[in-house]
Amino acid sequence: MSSQDIPEEKHLPSEQGDAHHGGVAVADDPFADPGLPVHKPRIQDIDERAAKRSERTVAMLFTLSMLATIGFIVSYVTLPVDKIVFIFPIGKVSALNFALGLTLGTALFCIGAGAVHWARTLMSDVEVADDRHEIAAPAEVKAKVLQDFADGANESGIARRPLIRNTLIGAMAMVPLAGVMLLRDLGPLPEVKLRKTVWAKGKLLINDNTNEPLRPEDVLVGSLTFARPEGLEEEQHDFQTQIAKAALMIVRIKPEDIKDKQELEWSHEGIVAYSKICTHVGCPISLYEQQTHHVLCPCHQSTFDLSDGARVIFGPAGHALPQLRIGVNDEGFLEAHGDFEEPVGPAFWERG
């Protein structure tokens, strides 16, 4: 920063017609508060024609708002609710939503714009100062309040009669327990509900897309198949709760590529069935990488290796996906050999 100051220059803007600054101020405290600046009039304050112009602008905005409201009513009455129109550059939109939104927006915005323009151009813009007062009360008020409190407390006798005080505290402490008790029936106790699914020995694996029982030949290498247990139908009242635990994903891996011994044992000709519910916080896993046999949860990117016991190889999940032991029944359909041996879905305290 240069220090080439030429304060004696007379043609500087600050020196022109403003002798107040400079020498005078330097004499005592140059940083002293000069007080509120003098009000500078706006064009509307001195020119009646400009004020009239502002008045007309404000009135025009308010009138525009009225017209927009009429436009809103007309749109509401005339446009069919299912009409789709192409609006550049947004694309295809509901004509009614578009018209109602823009007319309502205009009606509201113009009221606002008119009011603000009115305030800025026609109402007084003279800045005034108002005094503040300390928030804390003066000493005598405080003394009076403390005395009043002492008098009141004294008259109640709460200090002299500890029996009343203590029983009151006890009663007040206990009565909320009634409210807490009432929350008990918000839900049943967990018991073993999170440990069990509707899978059981002999249940067929139903393809979630075709609703047909799966045969081993339906499951091709490189494809990801979603399945649910036989007998679980969408119409059932607890379908959502049951499918939240029972959802299954099935892939076929060449048996020689399966690294985990138990996984191989629980599979059928390289067909492995794993819980679809992520062990992190329960999202359904839906992304499958054919080459590596990795599956990825789209919610938080936990990645599991299906060729190695579905162990976690990346992301925030804490443990492997549970595997369902499967085989083929006499008719050649894939079936479960039992329920999952460990709880599916997110971990919880009692999981162990």
| Binding residues with other proteins: total (CB under 8 A) | 118
Could you tell me the CA-to-CA distances from 221 to 225, 282, 293 in Å, in that order? 11, 26, 10
125 binding other proteins? (CB under 8 A): yes
71 phi, psi to nearest 5 deg? -60, -35
Quote the CA–CA distance of 247 and 295 in Å, as a whole number: 15
Nearer to other proteins, 225 or 270 (CB): 225
State which of positions 56-75 bind other proteins (CB under 8 A): none
Smallest gap from Cβ 137 to other proteins, in A, equals: 12
288 binding other proteins? (CB under 8 A): no
Smallest gap from Cβ 263 to other proteins, in A, equals: 20
State which of positions 17-36 bind other proteins (CB under 8 A): 18, 20-22, 25-26, 29-36
179 binding other proteins? (CB under 8 A): no
State which of positions 133-162 bind other proteins (CB under 8 A): 134-135
Which two tokens mark 35?
């007080």
Q: Give the one residue of 59, 66, 70, 119 binding other proteins; rule: CB under 8 A.
A: 119
Nearer to other proteins, 109 or 264 (CB): 109
51 binding other proteins? (CB under 8 A): no
Asked if residue 222 lies in contact with residue 254, where contact means CB atoms within 8 angstroms, the answer is no
Q: Which of 200, 272, 266, 194 is nearest to 232 (CA)?
A: 200
Q: Give the one residue of 118, 165, 216, 264 binding other proteins; rule: CB under 8 A.
A: 118
281 binding other proteins? (CB under 8 A): yes
Q: Binding pattern to other proteins, positions 232-271, x when CB under 8 A?
A: --xx-x-xxx-xxx-x------------------------
CB atoms within 10 A of CB 50: 15
Q: Give the one residue of 48, 127, 140, 330 binding other proteins; rule: CB under 8 A.
A: 127
Smallest gap from Cβ 234 to other proteins, in A, equals: 5
Which two tokens mark 170?
């006890």
312 binding other proteins? (CB under 8 A): yes
Quote the CA–CA distance of 61 and 71 in Å, as a whole number: 15
Asked if residue 103 lies in contact with residue 71, where contact means CB atoms within 8 angstroms, the answer is yes
301 binding other proteins? (CB under 8 A): yes
Q: Which residues contact 268 (CB under 8 A, 6 or more apart)?
A: 216, 326, 327, 328, 334
Which two tokens mark 310?
């579905």
Q: Which of 139, 150, 75 is nearest to 107 (CA)?
A: 75
Which two tokens mark 240?
């959502």
